Structure 1
Amino acid sequence: MFRNALVTSSRRQSRLCYGVAHAMQDASSRTPYLIPRRSAAVVVTTTAVFLWYLSSDLVHNDAVHTLPSNSGSALSKRTSSTGVDESGALCAVVWGSNKSNLIGPQSPGIETFQTPVNAKWLENVALRDLALHEKHAACVDARGDVCQWGDGFSCSKSDVKAPKITLRGKNIVKVQLTGSRVYALSATGRIYVFAANEEQQQLPKPRISSATSWDLSGWTGRERQAIDFVEIFPKERLNWGEKLISIAAGSDHLLALTSEGRTYAHPINKDANSHGQLGLRRVEIPAPSNLKDAAGRIAIELVPRSVASPSLRESSPTVASEHLNVMDDRHIGFSDLLGVKVSQIAAGDRSSFVNTSSGKVLGWGANEHGQIGLGSRITLDTIIIPTEIDLARNIPVSTKSKCLSIYAGGDLTCFVAERNAQESHTYVDTLCCGNGQWGGLGNNTFSTFQGNPVRVRNVSGLHEFDEQKQKLSPIIPHAISGVTHRSYFTVSRHSVACWPGASGRDLVAWGLNHDYQLGTGKRTSLNAATILERPEGDRFILGRRKATVRDLSGKVWKNNVEVEQCAIAGHGNSVVYWKLR
């Protein structure tokens, strides 16, 4: 249940208003909003999904890699996919489409990598995070600086469009991408948003507000930045020690989570609530300068299309429909963050999910493919009220079940659920629902609608012998990376997974494979999870090691740093990079 709250902010400084969530309340009730300062925001939609299985060691996004300064080939001379070149240097492993120069920015002549291959453009670089969108990409190095590249980012006329550091000195730990923006979360809990395109990042000419003679740019440090950005943070002070710890972006909305389980929603543009994915309707945003009759902030109502009607808009006194029509939502400071109490958040293209500490899941937003997971009997295209998802629908009543984690991308949703019957082993299943047209459900079928979450074959209900406990223990997915690219005619996706092996985690894939994004060397899509093999013939196991880590400028950050390979999915491509543990 969400409570609507109002937000107040200025162009330079924005605040976030928090509202406590109450279960299953009407979307028009109060909810908290997050207000932007100058910061960066981006959401990602792509064509792939990756899944890793949890071992006793956790991986943290705190690593740095250096960008190569040489002008030679971005690919290793040998056909290798180990992530280590012939000289022992770290490098990324890439495969799939390179049409926007995302996985081979220094090899613009190569449109497709049919099999996994070492890419030296990330040589000796370990990262905190990396995200791929359709035409642009971003990563975070060990020092917390953000680097961007791709045809959608660079305005350079050169064929070789090298990655470029854009946001510096903010200690960023996580990035999320949309088609037009980049959202970056810092280690201190601040969210920054900036344009995805290099040309649109240019700083505006300095202006002093007519309401004050103070110019605060010197206090905010903006004069030291090379790009224009906005910071989004709470209007009301968070509790002592509380901070924002996670962000998840859809195509038009963003979710943010605090260390105390409070959740916020952020409308990126006017389409942010087209399918009720915000979980609320009434929001307050900073008043644009072209509205002379609006002072400070303006209240608008973002009505889902399924319930929108002229009479509804006209009957609401808080809806400034004439203002909404003239507002420009292309600016990075269009709105604030808006607020519930949970342990995890996830966002699909037009849907939202939260997981509580007790393992209960709530979902809302677009549901035309059954991606909310409410069952085959619920055929509504839009779920505007946060609704509990029953993952124990197909198991005996005596069996206890709870959700461990949620992963959403595009029109496909994955739930990692634990089931435990009395006097029996504990099982962990990976459940998928949504659009499985290209095999993304992983259950040996190709279906465009799956409202009831189904088990992914070959990665659900698995066990391994735990030598410390001297008994069988369930294999728990470590991570799932997946997104979907929606077009007028098709919805495409693929998934990849891995579990603990002798030297790391196996990589497993399923789903769409039209651009060789599964790494099998063939274009045949897979409707069941399949263990990947390297071109050399051995299993694709994500490794770990100690190495000298450099930042994106090429300077040594630290020596003897523990790093681990991490796989992520993009629009028709995939990347395995070295990540700080």
Structure 2
Amino acid sequence: MASRNACSTAARSVTRAARPTTNPTSRLQLQAHTRSYHQGRSQSQTHQAWTKPSAAILAAAASVALIYTASNTDAQAEAAKEEGPPKPTLEKRKKKKGASKEENRDLISSQHLQVKRSWENPGVYAWGSNTGKVAAPDSNDAFIRTPRRIPWFDDVLLRDIKLDRQFGAAVLENGDLVQWGKGYSEETTEPTVTLKGKNLQQISISKDRIIGLSNSGTVYSIPASKTEQENGVKPSESSWIPGWSSTSNISYRIMNPKGLESREKISQISSGLEHVLLLTNTGRLFSAASGSEDFPSRGQLGVPGLTWTTRPPGAFDQCHEISTLKGFEMKKIASGDHHSLALDKEGRVFSFGDNSSGQLGFDFSSEAPYIDTPSLLPISKLYQGTSQAPKVTSIAAGGLNSFFTIDATRVMGPGEDPSEVRTLGRITADTWSCGQGIKGALGNGRWTHIQGTPTKIPSLSGLFEFDEKANAVVPIRLSSISAGSTHASAVMSNITFLDTNEKSSDDTTNYGADVVWWGGNEYFQLGTGKRNNVATPLYLRPLDMAAEIEAGRKEEHRFHITPRHNVKIKDGRKVTMEQRIECGRNVTAVYSGV
């Protein structure tokens, strides 16, 4: 508007300058004046007379043009205001196309690439404390901040692995035992095969010994130290030649329970710092001292009144049946540093041992810091008033913590009409924890010193997903929990896909299971690259970041673990393998398991 007013003022000034100076009083006077003015002039005068009006006309025309231009410009501006600002044109980034189907899948899916790499390059990634040269035997670094491969295990498949800050132990695909770390030998840095030919299936570690379970059910107790293996008592072993025997190359002890029934054998083992639980295939539970330094004295053996002074005659590491649990068929066992858990087939949990941090699931009492008799956990109280019936499906323990996964089934509440309860029978999968939480190991987002009553882990509870095959919404359970001394990891049992082949479309990709981590991180055992403790489960970056960069991927992605699958490996064999997680004592590993 300011521009329009200025132009109008200029036009009026030019027009007034071109008008005669005489101001007629009437139209008639003006006409008479004009006629006498033209008649009384010569040709030259007439030409001069026409020149001035012409200039005035031209000036007026210019003014009109200026006014029109300004008015038109203002009108366009007003119209633009009404239409609003111009809309931006978005150009979609062109997707990079791979040379082949497989390359294209690698480009569009980090999960597909991770699955492929886990099959092509089996091995062990480790991180955390390296003071004992366990996480990285070839490195002098005190800490390994992010996942790093242990070269000795490249292309090696394992049955099991267990980690301590000072020593590591693993079972090879053929059942032989491998050991490494300063706790094994100060001079030997590379992993070394120690116990051979026993066909070990599972191992568990105590403070100074390794407990191994063979496929036949025999339980071996092996010193963690190479010196003790060489200098200790070496048992005689039977030979394949009848009547012949030989002496073992290393020292070890056999700790099979007495009085097993026909075809009954040990099927699971789980150890703390000083004790080990032994579960038979019929559901009977035994316990024994597992270390050579200290006898279990905090009730973790589950035998009331059993101490070093009251133990029965015989070996210090003899097995004791937990008679309190006779009549209950146990299916799962777990051990923390000084406490024990047992789960029966009906979903009932029994706990015993140290309760200084509430790790047994009961409130701490200074008058009774430990419980030496297996005690039933009142799980139903956790769901009181919710119209849900709970059943424990799995247990885990480590350090001063215990974990429980529970299927809570929606049932009829008081006064409810079955026809109005749409969720009747629906299962909700929840995860609970108890014990010490000052370093975040409870996973519930709080830093609790002592947690007796189990607390729910929100981010691992009440999760659902749509199953296309079942055409239904299903709960997301946990496939497994690995609990270390101060940290833990959980593998989700979410829907996975591993059947992509050459006939599949370009956009069909493999994808694994989600995995999260939480708890203490002072030794970088969470693998985040940072040292802060974490009280809420979080994701890690992919293990093989070099492959991610090589694929041209710049965005942040998370690590997905590869589930069990039949795979053809480099040597041409077909094996059934998967990735597994082991949270140890301030050390963590992901390995290729068979």
Q: Structure 2 length normalisation: TM-score? A: 0.67
**Partner Cα distance (1:377, 1:232) in 2:** 34
Give the corresponding residue for 1:567: 581
Q: Is the 8 A contact 1:401 1:417 kept in 2?
A: yes
What amino acid is the match of 2:562? G
1:83 and 1:125, CA in 2 relative to 1: closer, same or farther beyond 3 A? farther
**Among candidates 118, 121, 127, match of residue 89 of structure 1:** 121
How far apart are residue 153 of structure 1 and its match? 0.3
Give the corresponding residue for 2:17: none
Give the corresponding residue for 2:104: none
**Partner Cα distance (1:87, 1:567) in 2:** 16
Q: Is the 8 A contact 1:182 1:194 kept in 2?
A: yes
Give the corresponding residue for 1:345: 333
How far apart are residue 526 of structure 1 and its match? 1.1
What amino acid is the match of 1:371? Q
Give the corresponding residue for 1:119: 150
1:224-281 superposed Cα distances (whole Å, 9 cap, x missing partner) = 6321111122322x33322110001011111000010000011235744321111115
How far apart are residue 92 of structure 1 and its match? 2.1
**Partner Cα distance (1:334, 1:393) in 2:** 39
How far apart are residue 548 of structure 1 and its match? 5.9
Aligned residue runs from structure 1 range 526-541, under 5 A: 526-534=534-542, 535=545, 536=548, 537-541=556-560
How far apart are residue 469 of structure 1 and its match? 2.7
How far apart are residue 344 of structure 1 and its match? 1.2
Give the corresponding residue for 1:579: 593
Does the residue aligned with 2:440 lie in a helix, a strand or coil?
coil
Is 1:406 the counterpart of 2:395 in the alignment? yes
Give the corresponding residue for 1:543: 562
1:400 and 1:221, CA in 2 relative to 1: closer, same or farther beyond 3 A? farther
Give the corresponding residue for 2:513: 505
Q: Is the 8 A contact 2:234 2:248 kept in 1?
A: no
Is 1:493 the counterpart of 2:487 in the alignment? yes
Give the corresponding residue for 2:83: none
Does the residue aligned with 2:379 lie in a helix, a strand or coil?
coil
Is 1:302 the counterpart of 2:325 in the alignment? no
How far apart are residue 99 of structure 1 and its match? 1.9
**Among candidates 259, 266, 269, match of residue 244 of structure 1:** 266
Does the residue aligned with 1:201 lie in a helix, a strand or coil?
helix
**Partner Cα distance (1:118, 1:83) in 2:** 16
**Partner Cα distance (2:284, 2:243) in 1:** 26
1:393 and 1:561, CA in 2 relative to 1: closer, same or farther beyond 3 A? same
Give the corresponding residue for 2:435: 434
**Partner Cα distance (2:383, 2:438) in 1:** 26
Q: C-alpha root-mean-square deviation of aligned residues, in Å? A: 2.9
1:19-55 superposed Cα distances (whole Å, 9 cap, x missing partner) = xxxxxxxxxxxxxxxxxxxxxxxxxxxxxxxxxxxxx
Does the residue aligned with 1:406 lie in a helix, a strand or coil?
strand
How far apart are residue 494 of structure 1 and its match? 4.2
How far apart are residue 395 of structure 1 and its match? 1.4
Is 1:110 the counterpart of 2:110 in the alignment? no
Identity over aligned pairs, percent: 29
**Partner Cα distance (1:168, 1:549) in 2:** 24
How far apart are residue 182 of structure 1 and its match? 0.7
Give the corresponding residue for 1:487: none
**Partner Cα distance (2:124, 2:395) in 1:** 27
Q: Is the 8 A contact 1:496 1:518 kept in 2?
A: no
Is 1:231 the counterpart of 2:254 in the alignment? yes
Does the residue aligned with 2:320 lie in a helix, a strand or coil?
coil
Give the corresponding residue for 1:470: 471
Give the corresponding residue for 1:192: 220
1:174 and 1:366, CA in 2 relative to 1: closer, same or farther beyond 3 A? same
Q: Is the 8 A contact 1:443 1:457 kept in 2?
A: yes
**Partner Cα distance (1:361, 1:375) in 2:** 16
Question: Which is greater in Rg?
Answer: 2
**Partner Cα distance (2:378, 2:244) in 1:** 48
1:344 and 1:319, CA in 2 relative to 1: closer, same or farther beyond 3 A? closer
Q: Is the 8 A contact 1:564 1:579 kept in 2?
A: yes
Is 1:374 the counterpart of 2:374 in the alignment? no
Q: Is the 8 A contact 1:83 1:90 kept in 2?
A: no
How far apart are residue 493 of structure 1 and its match? 3.0
Give the corresponding residue for 1:30: none
How far apart are residue 497 of structure 1 and its match? 3.8
1:141-163 superposed Cα distances (whole Å, 9 cap, x missing partner) = 1111111111100242x6xx111
Does the residue aligned with 2:198 lie in a helix, a strand or coil?
coil
1:365-390 superposed Cα distances (whole Å, 9 cap, x missing partner) = 11111000024789831112211111
Does the residue aligned with 1:458 lie in a helix, a strand or coil?
helix
Does the residue aligned with 1:202 lie in a helix, a strand or coil?
helix
Higher relative contact order (CA 8 A, sep 6+): 1
How far apart are residue 442 of structure 1 and its match? 0.9
Aligned residue runs from structure 1 range 114-513, under 5 A: 114-156=145-187, 161-202=189-230, 223=246, 225-236=248-259, 238-268=260-290, 271-281=294-304, 301-302=306-307, 334-339=316-321, 340=325, 341-375=329-363, 380-397=368-385, 398-422=387-411, 423-484=424-485, 492-500=486-494, 501-502=496-497, 503-513=511-521
**Partner Cα distance (2:469, 2:341) in 1:** 35
1:302-357 superposed Cα distances (whole Å, 9 cap, x missing partner) = 17xxxxxxxxx8xxxx779xx9xxx9xxxxx6321111341111111111111111
1:221 and 1:151, CA in 2 relative to 1: closer, same or farther beyond 3 A? farther
Give the corresponding residue for 2:29: none
**Partner Cα distance (2:359, 2:469) in 1:** 39
Q: Hey, which of these two has a bigger chunk of strand by percent?
A: 1
**Partner Cα distance (2:118, 2:356) in 1:** 49
Greater Cα offset, 517-526 or 371-380 = 371-380
Q: Is the 8 A contact 1:177 1:183 kept in 2?
A: yes
1:352 and 1:221, CA in 2 relative to 1: closer, same or farther beyond 3 A? farther
What amino acid is the match of 1:418? D
**Partner Cα distance (1:83, 1:473) in 2:** 24
Does the residue aligned with 2:383 lie in a helix, a strand or coil?
coil
Does the residue aligned with 1:394 lie in a helix, a strand or coil?
helix
**Partner Cα distance (1:337, 1:577) in 2:** 31
Does the residue aligned with 2:152 lie in a helix, a strand or coil?
helix
What amino acid is the match of 2:399? G
**Partner Cα distance (1:350, 1:205) in 2:** 28
**Partner Cα distance (1:128, 1:538) in 2:** 29
Greater Cα offset, 349-358 or 537-546 = 537-546
1:504-550 superposed Cα distances (whole Å, 9 cap, x missing partner) = 11120111112221122211211111122235532101125655669
Greater Cα offset, 185-194 or 397-406 = 397-406
**Partner Cα distance (2:142, 2:237) in 1:** 46
**Partner Cα distance (1:169, 1:220) in 2:** 19
Q: Is the 8 A contact 1:272 1:278 kept in 2?
A: no
What amino acid is the match of 1:119? I
Greater Cα offset, 450-459 or 340-349 = 340-349
1:37-83 superposed Cα distances (whole Å, 9 cap, x missing partner) = xxxxxxxxxxxxxxxxxxxxxxxxxxxxxxxxxxxxxxxxxxxx959
Q: Is the 8 A contact 1:168 1:225 kept in 2?
A: no
Is 1:99 the counterpart of 2:131 in the alignment? yes
Does the residue aligned with 1:233 lie in a helix, a strand or coil?
coil
Q: Hey, which of these two has a bigger chunk of helix by percent?
A: 2
1:120-174 superposed Cα distances (whole Å, 9 cap, x missing partner) = 3211001110111121111111111111111100242x6xx11111111111100
Q: Is the 8 A contact 2:234 2:247 kept in 1?
A: no
